[in-house]
Chain A
Amino acid sequence: MRKKKISLSGLLLAALAALLLALPAFAQQAEPEETDIWLPDELTTELRVKAAYNGQDILWLFEWAAEDGNLFHDMLVYEDGKWLRRGDGGGGADEYGLREDRVIMLVDAGTVPGFANQGCYTACHDGLDSLSNGLDEETVKAGLGDSWSNSDIRKYIPSSRQGENWWDGAWDALKSEDDLAALAEAGVFLDMWHWRSARGNPIGYSDDQYVLGYRNNDGGRTAFSTNWNGDLSQPNAMFDPAQVGFNALNWDKLMAGDYTQDDIYFISSDNSAPFDPDHAWKNGDVIPRRLLRMPEGNQADITADGRLVDGVWRVELRRAMDTGNHTTDHAMTEGRIYNVGFAVHKDATGARWHYISQTVRVGIGTPAEITAVRFNGNTPDWNNIPWTTLTIFYPGEITWEWLVSDAHPGAAEIRADERSCQSCHGSDEASIIKLAQASVYHETRDGRSDLNWWLTLAAGMILLVGGTVVAVNLSTGKEN
């Protein structure tokens, strides 16, 4: 009889324990398909900046630490008869480390509402590509019509949208082409300098873009094209063995980080040959999926010289102070002050996983947070020009729509365009770290009901306390 009681006790205890152990299976992950969370190891980093001009050209010099500085982006790897794409994006850092480093400047000539105070945030909106609430192509087409030539929405400024107020235009309330053209004529756009370590730097150029209704390329031909034939599932071009001595790079050497800027590591129209499908390709052969070419037209406005030395990128950009393209570039005029937002991509990240600065005032020959210094001749003596060190931070998924919403305590001042981020949050390093932490908290929260959380907490406590009561009840009179 006693033996039977012990068996029942054991059974009940085992059932309770099994229930507790099985409960994680019921744990509901909060709609993970709606979040795309990846956080960098460091929330802030430093960007050092210098600027100089000679009346004809303006030059910028950047330095930032990039321990895993990346020369590659978007590659094709031969594996068992197929060319597989590696480094094609996804959330956060690329698993193969094949996403290029970048430095970006958004320049405002004092014409874009909101930018002087909120900087890059004026260009970051709900629904943008790579945000957790990023819109799919079908939604974008439904909202913007078939005339919209892109499959997504990217950076845009509030002025490009029609709203009740200057700050509240919805993503799909795009102004007419005539209105956008009028804004561009009036200089209401952000001039975007976009240096890429793989798609431009190897041949000495930087992308020249501008932000208005979208992140647009300036006119002309870009410095890179896509090296892929979708119909044949093979590259269009390979390295020209007659020139460089090989047909492809090597995957193992690539992953070991053995290629340097002194090697032939990029493919261009100058060192390539038409792809030969009959070549004896072997596993581990690698061909870049981006073919570099000399840019043309306005795309050739910005020249670049970037060197990665001992884990530090040092990048010099040069452009005419006035390119003559007044609807896509802001002329940099001596004596004027511009609002500039800086951004850096490092550690094989793309899209929104970058570091940004608060708005920085740049004076061309006039005192400001960064002062461009006049020099004579063709090349400045950078040693005589002081660095300005900026603490740049991970902005998470803070968007313009959230900043002007009632959820943000500073929304009223932003709507009135009368208060900057730093006037509330501070601009010293500790304040910027806190701002980045707040961005992370914002990114990792969701709208899940608090009720579930409290229910889980209560049920868990009842389980532990109730289980102990059950154990005590079952144990009575069973001392061995």
Chain B
Amino acid sequence: MQGLLHTVLSGANVGILVLAAAAFALRFVMGQRDDEWARGADRLAFIAASIGVILAVFTALSGIFGTWPREAIRETLLIQNKILASSALLGAWGMFVLLRWRVGPSLWHNTTLKLWSAFLVFVGFVNTALVGSMGGSAALKGSLLDPVFWSLNINRFTSLSWGPAASLVVVVVVLGLALFTGRRRVSG
């Protein structure tokens, strides 16, 4: 039953996030336009992404509680990789929703935020596809993306986690940039 719930929620989740990505892309190519169509695409992207983020939380929970045996979460690399990609999905879409909520429609008139939002949506979209594909593999049903993974020599059954050095570099660089730009902002 939990497996079925996860399947249903996953389908709805992927659908709504694809809609959000499509609406975002549409708004993005409209550039500086500020007509009904542009505002509609913006609102659709924001609302669909918001619903997608909320749904993603429930989808993840249904996946965790539906996994048997439970140790698979801790011991199976495919599942661990799926959790990593799900976290990236949630993080990227969540940040986009937060940013759009705080900044409002004026986000589209700020080049930096617009580009960063595009990047977040891109990361969110790619990880949405990854999570769905890994779900297909976990259920041993295969995935349309299998040939892509094969051609890129990516083995989803082995760990895709970074080593400690890469994690440290990420943290140091990002925090350093945040502090540096924050100081510039205050002093400016």
- Partner-B contacts on A (CB < 8 A): 6, 9-10, 12-13, 15-17, 19-20, 23-24, 26-32, 35, 37, 39-43, 434, 437-438, 440-442, 444-446, 448, 450-453, 455-480
The one of B77, B162, B167 that contacts A445, using a Cβ cutoff of 8 Å: B77
The answer to whether B159 touches A448 (Cβ under 8 A) is yes
Known: A13-B115, A27-B161. A473 touches B91 (CB 8 A): no
Smallest beta-carbon distance A396→chain B, Å: 11
The one of A434, A445, A465, A471 that contacts B75, using a Cβ cutoff of 8 Å: A445
A457 and B170 alpha carbons, distance in the complex (Å): 11
The answer to whether A12 touches B157 (Cβ under 8 A) is no
Q: Mark B66-100, 1 if CB is under 8 A from A, else 0.
A: 00110110111111100110011001100100110
Cβ-Cβ contact count across A and B, 8 Å cutoff: 181
Within 8 A of A (CB), among B130-184: 140, 142, 155, 157-168, 170-171, 173-175, 177-178, 181-182, 184
The one of A9, A37, A455 that contacts B167, using a Cβ cutoff of 8 Å: A455
**Any A CB within 8 A of the CB of B2:** no
A385 and B183 alpha carbons, distance in the complex (Å): 86
**Any A CB within 8 A of the CB of B65:** no
Smallest beta-carbon distance A167→chain B, Å: 23
The answer to whether B76 touches A460 (Cβ under 8 A) is no
A421 and B179 alpha carbons, distance in the complex (Å): 59
Smallest beta-carbon distance A2→chain B, Å: 11
The answer to whether B77 touches A39 (Cβ under 8 A) is no
Smallest beta-carbon distance A451→chain B, Å: 7
The answer to whether A468 touches B98 (Cβ under 8 A) is yes
Q: In terms of DSSP, what is the predominant structure of the interface of chain A?
A: helix
24 contacts between A and B (CB under 8 A): A9-B112, A10-B112, A12-B177, A26-B163, A26-B165, A27-B161, A37-B157, A40-B140, A440-B140, A441-B69, A444-B78, A456-B162, A456-B167, A457-B84, A459-B170, A462-B171, A464-B120, A466-B174, A467-B95, A468-B95, A468-B120, A471-B112, A478-B110, A478-B111
The answer to whether B76 touches A473 (Cβ under 8 A) is no
Known: A445-B76, A460-B91, A470-B181. A16 touches B174 (CB 8 A): yes
The answer to whether A466 touches B188 (Cβ under 8 A) is no
**Any A CB within 8 A of the CB of B123:** yes
Known: A37-B157, A462-B170. A475 touches B110 (CB 8 A): yes
Smallest beta-carbon distance A133→chain B, Å: 15
**Any A CB within 8 A of the CB of B60:** no
A468 and B115 alpha carbons, distance in the complex (Å): 11
**Any A CB within 8 A of the CB of B19:** no
**Any A CB within 8 A of the CB of B116:** yes
Listed from nearest, the 9 A-B pairs whose CB atoms lie closest are A466-B174, A471-B116, A473-B181, A445-B75, A26-B166, A459-B167, A30-B159, A455-B167, A475-B112
Most buried by B among A446, A473, A474: A473
Residues of A within 8 A of B111 (CB): 6, 475, 478, 480
A455 and B165 alpha carbons, distance in the complex (Å): 10
